[in-house]
C-alpha cells in the first residue's frame, strides 16, 4: 500500500515539475515582477489591494499562457536540442493540442478580465506582447534570422509597459 501511495505522489510531483517547466515559472515571475514594479512606480501604490491582486494573478496567467503557446509551436525543435529536449511538450508529457487550447483559453480570459478589472492599457500590452512573442518572434522570425531577438525583446518589454 505504501509503495502505491509513494508512486502516486511521485507521479503528481512529476506533473507539477512538468507544468512549472511548461510555463517557465522563473521567467514568468521575473516578467511579472517587472510589470508589478512598473505598476507601483506609475502610481499603483494608492490602488486598492484588490487591484494589486488582480494585476498579479491576471498578469501571471497571461504570461504563463503565452509561454505555453510558445512551447506548443517550438516542440519540434525543442525535441532535438540538447538544452530543451526535456521540456514537457517535446517529451510528450502533455497532449500538445490540449495544451494549446487550454493556454489560449487562459490567455483570452486573462486578457478580457484585465480589460474589465484593471484597464485597457494593461490588456492591450498583454495582446501586443503575445503577438510579438508568438506571431513575430516564434512563428515568423525565430527560425529564419538572428534578428528575431528584436521581436522577442519587444515582447519581453510589454509587461513593464503594461504595469
Predicted local confidence at residue 8, as pLDDT: 65
Sequence ranges of the domains in the chain: 2-162
3-state secondary structure 1-48: CHHHHHHHHHHHHHHHHHHHHHCCHHHHHHHHHHHHHHHHHCCHHHCC
Tens of pLDDT along the chain (163 residues) come to 444 445 566 888 888 999 999 999 999 999 999 999 999 998 888 999 999 999 999 999 999 999 999 999 999 999 999 998 999 999 999 999 999 999 999 999 999 999 999 999 999 999 999 999 999 989 998 889 888 888 877 887 887 778 6
Q: How far is it between the farthest Cα atoms of the chain? A: 56
How many C-alpha atoms does 135 have within 13 Å on its Cβ side?
6
Predicted local confidence at residue 10, as pLDDT: 83
Q: CATH: 3.40.710.10, 1.20.1600.10, 1.10.10.10, 1.10.357.140. Which one for 2-162? A: 1.10.357.140
Give 139's DSSP letter.
I
pTM here is 0.89
- Strand segments, DSSP code E, in 28-130 are none
**40-72 pLDDT tens trace:** 998 888 999 999 999 999 999 999 999 999 999
Length of the chain: 163
- Give the Cα separation of 99 and 56 in Å (integer): 22
Predicted local confidence at residue 9, as pLDDT: 62
Residue 135, class by beta-carbon neighbours within 10 Å (0-12 exposed, 13-18 middle, 19+ buried)?
Answer: middle
Amino acid at each position: 500500500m505504501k509503495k502505491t501511495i509513494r508512486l502516486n505522489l511521485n507521479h503528481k510531483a512529476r506533473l507539477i515539475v512538468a507544468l512549472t517547466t511548461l510555463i517557465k515559472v522563473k521567467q514568468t515571475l521575473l516578467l511579472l515582477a517587472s510589470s508589478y514594479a512598473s505598476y507601483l512606480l506609475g502610481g499603483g501604490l494608492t490602488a486598492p489591494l484588490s487591484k494589486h491582486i488582480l494585476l498579479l494573478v491576471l498578469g501571471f496567467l497571461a504570461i504563463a499562457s503565452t509561454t505555453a503557446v510558445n512551447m506548443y509551436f517550438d516542440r519540434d525543435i525543442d525535441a532535438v536540442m540538447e538544452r530543451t529536449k526535456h521540456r514537457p511538450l517535446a517529451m510528450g508529457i502533455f497532449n500538445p493540442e490540449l495544451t494549446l487550447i487550454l493556454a489560449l483559453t487562459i490567455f483570452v480570459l486573462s486578457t478580457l478580465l484585465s480589460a474589465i478589472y484593471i484597464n485597457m492599457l494593461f490588456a492591450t500590452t498583454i495582446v501586443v506582447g503575445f503577438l510579438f512573442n508568438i506571431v513575430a518572434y516564434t512563428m515568423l522570425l525565430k527560425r529564419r534570422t538572428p534578428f528575431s531577438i528584436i521581436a522577442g525583446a519587444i515582447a519581453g518589454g510589454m509587461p513593464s509597459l503594461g504595469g
